[in-house]
Amino acid sequence: MAYLGPRLGVSRIFVPRVIVFRLLGTVGMEDMGLALGRSALERLDFENVVLKKLPLDPSEEAGVRLVKGACFSRVKPEPLNNPRFVAVSRDALALLGLDGDEIMNDPLGPEYLSGSKVMPGSEPAAHCYCGHQFGQFAGQLGDGAACYLGEVKVPPGQNPKFLRENPSGRWEIQVKGAGQTPYSRKADGRKVLRSSIREFLCSEAMFFLGIPTTRAGSVVTSDSKVLRDVHYSGNPSYERCSVVLRIAPTFLRFGSFEIFKPADEFTGRQGPSYGREEIRGQMLDYVIETFYPEIQQNYPDRVERNVAFFREVMCRTAQLVAQWQCVGFCHGVLNTDNMSVLGLTLDYGPYGFMDRFDPDFICNASDNSGRYSYKAQPAICRWNLVKLAEALAPELPTDRAKAVIDEYLDQFNRSYLENMRKKLGLLRKEEPEDEILITELLRTMHDTGADFTNTFRSLSQISCPERETEQDKEIVKKATELFLAQCASLEELKSANTPTMDPRELAMLLSMAQSNPTLFEMISDRATIARQLDRMSKLKVLMETSQEELRARQAQEWTSWITLYRKRLACELEGQSDVQVLQEERVRVMNSTNPRVVLRNYIAQNAIEAAENGDFSEVQRVLKVLEKPFSSQPGLELPAWVGSHGSTAQGERDEREEQEQRASASSTAIDPVPYDSKPPAWARQICVT
């Protein structure tokens, strides 16, 4: 239909009326046929505003380089050999007005959504940003593997909820793993199947949990291979290049504003656009005008506008990390370059959902100091906000920024308590002792090694006591048994509390901390040593404890907390005429707040191993389960191969890899458990870096 107008214009001038109608019919049908015959991806309506609003690198030189005075560089995605879909998220693709089934069956789909072929209207580019990594300013980083494809206009009929969350009217789409960019440093810009599946599944899992996040539309794999040393053992092997399609209003981040940073006092590095203050102003204007239009409209004074923007980013960040804490999610790499200016969960690398509750939980095996542990996340996000404030100065006055940051802890605590009250079913009243009740619950979970997700899910089975009865003891006993089923065994606790540091190394470091504190601080830190000593102390106690003694102690702890909880629940009934209605409301709210299923590492690992052996059905099955994390889904309780006598389901097998699959024994056949179960023993061996 694109050429209909111009052709008809000429026809009206030069030909008789009767021929005009014949041409109208002929040309219209031809063009309509062309339009219908084209891939839906070739009909996407791109409007790449950010490349017009922010400076673009004038150089198109290939290879890694320092990029000064620009926010984006044009790039050429590197084609994959024989790209093919692993899975698509129909829900995420619908944001772009695309039908997931149509895209899955589109022969051009894998090429376009891997960057192997460039869609009409797409303008591939890579974003320049900096970042503080593990507390140190790293200088220029940028999209080393991600590639901006463009901004797709929101299709007609989009859910108004998404339009409120994305007032720009466009969705930015990226492919991650499409090859080298100027920001790839020493890497090849490629991603492999395991990391791509993890990002794809977790992006969608977080969305369906109700947590702000970037989205993932598809995973594509290929016959192209790269060399990777999975365990950093010196034994690399070839893995398949794979690409994730990512979707968000924008992928701009705290680190986007750090490209103007002067030389860092510790590392000596500076941002590549240091001194280009006008670009900072441009970027700030673009972000606020595009994604915070109400702030732009309500604050004509520039300074007040910038303060209001920073306060909104602070609030969104505090609310986001509160939601993470309430589902046991650990990001793993909370550098400033992984923090979204929209308060979205961004960049899924070595993340993890906690199994056994442990406030010191570290999901990233590379995080030796525990900087990004579960309990550290709220404080780290505040630290990152301080770095964002520094990057926005002088557009954001320092004293005004400090006042906003001082509000962070209160905002986090409010959000956290609001979420936790829902998780505990405390809906009618807000009592001062609620914080103590929550703290005691977490302490009991930690002491007994209780499973985080399943313990919270089980809470809805404890009803409000209407009055004291002779059956109270029996009710508490049954509730205790319910929670004991989620507690760790003696062997599990011994394994969890075994020090990771050699005793001789620990003794040397303890001695050094006394004799040479300066050298000690260079090679270790007191928090790491304290964790090792705590483990040793707990292990000593456990070695002198029997399974029966442990179980009795766990039962006693849970009985005490359940008694406290039921006393608080009784307060909920005060002044309530219809107890049954309150009970039903509690169960409904709790079961829509406490997920039945989260993306545990072992679930992702099962899907990865099946896909690496040529069977993509488990990735697709896990996605279906994660799309309804609060519900039981008949027929989707177990992995696909269970019930097939240990064999893997054939539905989505990649025929090219059947021989490879038969030759490889997958651990997924070992100890299959339901998706909502505590992890199997082998899951403790999973290491994510």
pLDDT along the chain (689 residues), means of 10: 34 31 39 63 98 95 94 97 98 97 98 98 98 97 98 90 88 98 96 98 98 98 95 90 98 98 96 97 98 98 98 98 98 98 97 97 92 98 98 98 98 98 96 96 98 98 82 92 97 92 88 88 85 91 96 98 96 87 95 98 96 97 98 91 46 44 43 89 88
Interatomic CA distance for residues 1 and 27, integer angstroms: 9
The position carrying tokens 């707990």 is 538
Is residue 8 packed enough to be buried (19+ CB in 10 Å), middle (13-18) or exposed (0-12)?
middle
Confidence at residue 466, expressed as pLDDT on a 0 to 100 scale: 76
Confidence at residue 640, expressed as pLDDT on a 0 to 100 scale: 80
Q: Cα 487 to the chain's mean position, in Å?
A: 27
126-63-243 Cα angle (round to 5): 50
The position carrying tokens 């009803």 is 463
Confidence at residue 141, expressed as pLDDT on a 0 to 100 scale: 98
Beta bridge partners of 175: 147, 245
Interatomic CA distance for residues 334 and 326, integer angstroms: 17
- Catalytic annotation, pick one of 57, 106, 143, 337: 337
pTM for this structure?
Answer: 0.90
Which letter, b or e, does each residue of 312-336 get, where b requires 16 or more Cβ atoms within 10 Å of its Cβ? bbbbbbbbbbbbbbbbbbbbbbbbb
CB atoms within 10 A of CB 501: 18
- Measured in Å, how far apart are the chain's first and last C-alpha atoms? 50
99 catalytic residue (yes or no): no
Confidence at residue 36, expressed as pLDDT on a 0 to 100 scale: 54
Confidence at residue 671, expressed as pLDDT on a 0 to 100 scale: 63
The position carrying tokens 């970027």 is 283
Contact 61, 76 (CB under 8 A): no
Q: Cα 572 to the chain's mean position, in Å?
A: 35
Residue whose C-alpha is closest to residue 585's, from 598, 570, 571, 572: 572
Angstrom distances, CA of residue 109 to CA of 27, 119, 620, 648: 28, 10, 17, 26
Contact 639, 676 (CB under 8 A): no
